[in-house]
Structure 1
Amino acid sequence: MTPPQPPPHPGPRAADPHQPPPADGPAPRNTGMPVAGGGAAAETAPGEVDGGPGSRRLPGQARGGQRPVPASSQPVDLLDGVARWGAAGTPRGEFRLQPVRLERDLELIAGWMNDPVVSAFWELSGPAYLTEQHIASQLTCDGRSVPCLGLLNGAPMSYWEVYRADLDPIARHYPSRPHDTGIHLLIGPPEYRGRGLGGTLIRAVAELILRQRPRAQRVVAEPDVRNLPSVQAFARAGFRRAAVLDLPEKRAALMLRAR
């Protein structure tokens, strides 16, 4: 299906096409990742993850949807080619990010979104078109957010959003730096939860980002402060709790992983 077209974004674009300004709108929604014991953890969207109630807004997206992008700016790569990042070795096996293709991946991801543990934070349960719209709005934007499947030993088992935190509304709530890169995630199949995978995979992705994005000095996350398993997963992955942010949709722990 074709998602509804968002209204044009007010105001001019930045002169440098590689540095579009942060989108207008509220701070990012709280996404959360399912955790051990059948509970759920919140953050910008993992399963020791980040997610949560509220706007269902995407990274860099204003209330009315992400801004349309002129055809001439489509080739701009704001995240240094996520599809080319390759695999990371982990104690649990080989892990890689694979950018989403809706025709291939929608049914799988929509199924995960209908798991009560996931839907409590992502709020995308229901017909598959809800998930389709959520992902399509990133795929048709300017590249500041890349939705991906996480493959562990070749098996798709998690969903990730890698995004430019410095171009997102979250940048208005902390001292952002150029090329700060944020992550959201969820762990899909229940059999992968409660095994400590969250911290392992977050560490692997953070290291991929810092290796493949030489201009990025930090990886950023903002789990809900009430989501202790998520905060702890990021801490296990080498993130430090830098501040508490009062965002429109949540009170968040600002978690930073420096180069």
Structure 2
Amino acid sequence: MLDGAVTFRPLTRADLGLLARWLAEPLVARWWAHRTTPEAVEADFGPCIDGTDPAEVLLALAGGRPFGLVQRYRIADFPEYVAELSAVVDVPPRALSIDYLIGEPDVRGGGAGTAMLRALVADCWTAYPDADAVLVPVAAGNVASWKALEKAGFTRVAEGPLTPDNPVDPPDHVVSLLRRPPGA
């Protein structure tokens, strides 16, 4: 359960140990499939912290307590990703995409993912005033993830094969879209 409103702050190197612990959590590891050694976490997330990778990585907090991680990025900053997604769905030219996890097991369930996604999208409209949509592919088998997107207001717009984050998964994905509302 969440205790308070969801807020975000940039990931720092001081958070990498916490992130490694989260990435080792069985439910997170199932879908993220990241190595969790200090060197691997640094290699994967250090460039975002340094600003040399165009993705932003943020910690999600409730009541001041970190409970999750989100990444957001302009899809256009990754041309190979645009090409892969375009084979499955029309990619809006100024679309963002997001990746997310809830690392603290005691926070999972009860709408925490949906609350985090709603807060993140609201923040995206402010942080990226030219963004016209958020487009999110999710492995079809990760039902909790794509249902949280639906509860947060996203609409499923496509299904198709994409490279899975975890090599044990089939390529089947669902793709969800949320367009910027008028006035946002």
TM-score if structure 1 supplies the norm length? 0.60
Give the alignment of 1:68-79 within 5 angstroms: none
Q: Residue 165 of structure 1 contacts residue 181 of structure 1 at CA under 8 Å; is this kept in 2?
A: yes
Aligned counterpart for 2:38 among listed residues 128, 132, 150 = 128
- Hey, what does 2:11 align to over in structure 1? 100
In the alignment, residue 257 of structure 1 is paired with which amino acid? Answer: L
- Hey, what does 1:177 align to over in structure 2? 92
Q: Residue 71 of structure 2 contacts residue 100 of structure 2 at CA under 8 Å; is this kept in 1?
A: yes
Cα RMSD (Å):
1.8
- Hey, what does 1:207 align to over in structure 2? 122
Shift of 1:122: 1.6
1:225 equivalenced with 2:140 (yes/no):
yes
Shift of 1:154: 0.8
In the alignment, residue 193 of structure 1 is paired with which amino acid? Answer: R
* CA distance in structure 1 between the partners assigned to 2:153 and 2:3 by the alignment: 18
In the alignment, residue 96 of structure 1 is paired with which amino acid? Answer: T
Pair member with larger Rg: 1
1:155 equivalenced with 2:65 (yes/no):
yes
Gaps of 5+ in 1: 1-90
Q: Residue 31 of structure 2 contacts residue 142 of structure 2 at CA under 8 Å; is this kept in 1?
A: no
In the alignment, residue 46 of structure 2 is paired with which amino acid? Answer: A
SS at match of 1:93: coil
* CA distance in structure 1 between the partners assigned to 2:157 and 2:138 by the alignment: 12
* CA distance in structure 1 between the partners assigned to 2:117 and 2:61 by the alignment: 13
In the alignment, residue 212 of structure 1 is paired with which amino acid? Answer: A
Q: Residue 60 of structure 2 contacts residue 66 of structure 2 at CA under 8 Å; is this kept in 1?
A: yes
Aligned counterpart for 1:109 among listed residues 13, 19, 24 = 19
* CA distance in structure 2 between the partners assigned to 1:142 and 1:131 by the alignment: 16
Q: Residue 221 of structure 1 contacts residue 256 of structure 1 at CA under 8 Å; is this kept in 2?
A: yes
Shift of 1:144: 1.8
Gaps of 5+ in 2: 165-170
Q: Which has the higher helix share?
A: 2
1:119 equivalenced with 2:34 (yes/no):
no
* CA distance in structure 1 between the partners assigned to 2:77 and 2:149 by the alignment: 22
| 1:38-96 deviation per Cα after TM superposition (whole angstroms, max 9, x unaligned) | xxxxxxxxxxxxxxxxxxxxxxxxxxxxxxxxxxxxxxxxxxxxxxxxxxxxx952222
* CA distance in structure 1 between the partners assigned to 2:47 and 2:29 by the alignment: 19
| 1:7-53 deviation per Cα after TM superposition (whole angstroms, max 9, x unaligned) | xxxxxxxxxxxxxxxxxxxxxxxxxxxxxxxxxxxxxxxxxxxxxxx
Q: Residue 115 of structure 1 contacts residue 125 of structure 1 at CA under 8 Å; is this kept in 2?
A: no
Further displaced range: 119-128 or 182-191: 119-128
- Alignment size in residue pairs: 168
Relative contact order, higher structure (CA 8 A, sep 6+)? 1
Further displaced range: 145-154 or 171-180: 171-180
Counting aligned pairs with the same residue, the percent is: 26
SS at match of 1:157: strand
Q: Residue 47 of structure 2 contacts residue 53 of structure 2 at CA under 8 Å; is this kept in 1?
A: no
TM-score if structure 2 supplies the norm length? 0.83
In the alignment, residue 172 of structure 2 is paired with which amino acid? Answer: R
* CA distance in structure 2 between the partners assigned to 1:176 and 1:247 by the alignment: 14
Q: Which has the higher strand share?
A: 2
Shift of 1:237: 0.3
In the alignment, residue 192 of structure 1 is paired with which amino acid? Answer: V
Further displaced range: 238-247 or 116-125: 116-125
